[in-house]
Amino acid sequence: MEYPISHYFLVRAESATLAARHIERYLSGNQLISYAEFFVQAEEVLDKEHEKFWDTLGMGLVANDVFARRMLEHLKEEGATTLEDLLSIKQGYATKILHTLTHLLDGFIGIDSVFYNLVEDSHWVSEELSEAIRGQSDEYWLVPVRTGMLENSVLHPVD
């Protein structure tokens, strides 16, 4: 069965094989999300010199940004337009949106995370890390992960 790519992980490792193993260990032991199955296909792992590396990284960052902004729009629709408004929003849908947004900003991976930076435990890439990747090191990899059915997620409970 062919699964679509669910996440792209930025990893620092000595080889593509070790980068893939790192992701496999990370997802196997992750308490925030677990999948019935997941796959890393060696031929899809991108090193920093690959022609698609930076475009793929950029696409993942944009997707995370779009998701974060969508969460902000939902909060605005629920009446939260200032920081002070957060103290008076009703528990329920609006607070779950805030919770999801907070996890994205705080670096907790979720099923909605298109890109995840395991080097910095973040959904973004700092300027310092971007410069390090562009530097002389050949130890940065983008690892696409294909996932099966979600088994469990702290942010999105599965029935």
% helix / strand / coil in the chain, to the nearest 5? 45, 20, 40
Q: Is residue 133 part of a domain?
A: no
- pTM for this structure? 0.86
Asked if the model's pLDDT at residue 51 lies above 90, the reply is yes
- The answer to whether residue 47 sits within a structural domain is yes
Q: What is the per-residue burial (b if ≥16 Cβ within 10 Å, else e) of 96-108? A: ebbebbebbeeeb
Q: Which residues form the domain of 26?
A: 5-128+138-151
**Averaged pLDDT for residues 67-75:** 95
Residue 143 included in any domain: yes
**How far apart are the C-alpha atoms of 156 and 149, rounded to whole Å?**
13
The reply to whether 159 falls in a domain is: no
Q: Is 77 helix (H, G, I), strand (E, B) or coil?
A: helix
pLDDT at 149: 58
Q: What confidence tens digit (pLDDT) does each residue in 77-109 have?
A: 999 999 999 999 989 999 999 988 998 898 888
Selected residue with higher pLDDT from 68 and 136: 68
Given a contact cutoff of 8 angstroms between Cβ atoms, the answer to whether 131 and 35 are in contact is no
**Average pLDDT score, the chain:** 88
- Domain-located, residue 156: no
Q: How many domains does the chain have?
A: 1
Percentage of the chain exceeding pLDDT 90: 65
pLDDT in the model for residue 1: 58
Query: What 3-state class would DSSP assign to 104?
Result: helix
pLDDT in tens, 11-28: 999 999 999 999 999 888
Question: Above 90 in pLDDT, residue 3?
Answer: no
Strand pairing partners for 145? 7
Q: Could you give the angle at the alpha carbon of 112 between the alpha carbons of 34 and 104, nearest 5°?
A: 100
